[in-house]
Amino acid sequence: MTTLELKKQEAVLRARLASLLDSGIRLEVVDTIGSTNAELKARAASSHETLFLAREQTAGVGRRGSLWQSPPSGNLYLSYCVHSRRPLNELSLWSLGITVAAADALERELTLDCKIKWPNDLYLAGMKVGGVLLETVSLKDDGVAVVIGVGLNIASHPDPQLLRRPVTCLSKHSESPLDLSMVVDVIAPAIVELCRLSHDELQALVMSSWPSRDLLLNQRVAVSALGEGVGIARGLSPDGGLEVEFAGKRRTVYAGEVSLGHVDTQ
């Protein structure tokens, strides 16, 4: 993309996000970067309330350190940094909240029936369409910079055979044409608004929205961290874990991969 084309795209985005930018949020748009999350982490101290969007990532990061394929094909690679003094144990709920807020916004604004695979994967029609990666950096004043990254396949998706998982993109499920600026206009306000909620409001949102978004609810799942074989997913625990029933006994999973009958590698 030429500098002129990038400037035009940025102008379109600034117009769409005008009320967000008027409220003090900063926006940076670049053509190419290693990772939008890594960039905001590197300058966390000075990036409070900054949205950072790239057309391409050369070293995009997914959960558990996996590579997030990020070609310059019109998909969303967006990060947001916000400084916080909340206790760190609230952050897992925050990351679930961002995922819920993104799914709710995709349904509300684009009529896409978006599900969530615990904890942070966005799914359409049983296929992964995006994900959320929340990272933190400690600040000198005892606060923390929370960097929230959202990747969404809009126009294209990686090869499902290479990923060894079902994968899709938003355009395949939308009745009207979609482009990056439309999706930024849906996702960026949803992230910012979620970060402005109190902990109680966040908890209420997650607990009320989760059951209807939960891809795993009452499904047979394998939990890598527990090594107990296959159990039945029973929804979210009050502290943001996944409840899984093994031979009639419930256990709560807080980390590791939960798979649904196929092998997850990314």
Q: Which residues bind ligand BTN (CB under 6 A)?
A: 35-37, 57, 60-63, 66, 68, 77-79, 120-121, 131-133, 149-151
Task: Give me the least distance between CB of 176 and ligand BTN, in Å please.
Answer: 24
* Cα first-last separation, the chain: 28
In this complex, which beta carbon is closest to ligand BTN, that of residue 50 or of residue 120?
120
In this complex, which beta carbon is closest to ligand BTN, that of residue 75 or of residue 209?
75
Determine contact, residues 115/233, Cβ cutoff 8 Å.
Answer: no
Task: Give me the least distance between CB of 264 and ligand BTN, in Å please.
Answer: 10
In this complex, which beta carbon is closest to ligand BTN, that of residue 91 or of residue 133?
133
In this complex, which beta carbon is closest to ligand BTN, that of residue 66 or of residue 245?
66
CA-to-CA distance for 208 and 42, rounded, in angstroms? 35
Whether the upstream peptide bond of residue 119 has omega within 30° of 0, thus cis, is: yes
Task: Give me the least distance between CB of 19 and ligand BTN, in Å please.
Answer: 23
Task: Give me the least distance between CB of 130 and ligand BTN, in Å please.
Answer: 7
What is the secondary structure of 6-28 as a DSSP string?
HHHHHHHHHHHTHHHHHTT-EEE
In this complex, which beta carbon is closest to ligand BTN, that of residue 30 or of residue 232?
30
Three-state DSSP class for residue 244: strand
What is the secondary structure of 40-69 as a DSSP string?
HHHTGGG-TTEEEEEEEESS-B-GGG-B--
In this complex, which beta carbon is closest to ligand BTN, that of residue 204 or of residue 225?
225
CA-to-CA distance for 45 and 81, rounded, in angstroms? 10
CA-to-CA distance for 170 and 13, rounded, in angstroms? 19
Token pair listed for 142? 């005892």
Q: Which residue is nearest to ligand BTN (CB)?
A: 131
Task: Give me the least distance between CB of 177 and ligand BTN, in Å please.
Answer: 22
Task: State the residue for tokens 């256990």.
Answer: 251
Task: Give me the least distance between CB of 204 and ligand BTN, in Å please.
Answer: 25
Three-state DSSP class for residue 131: strand
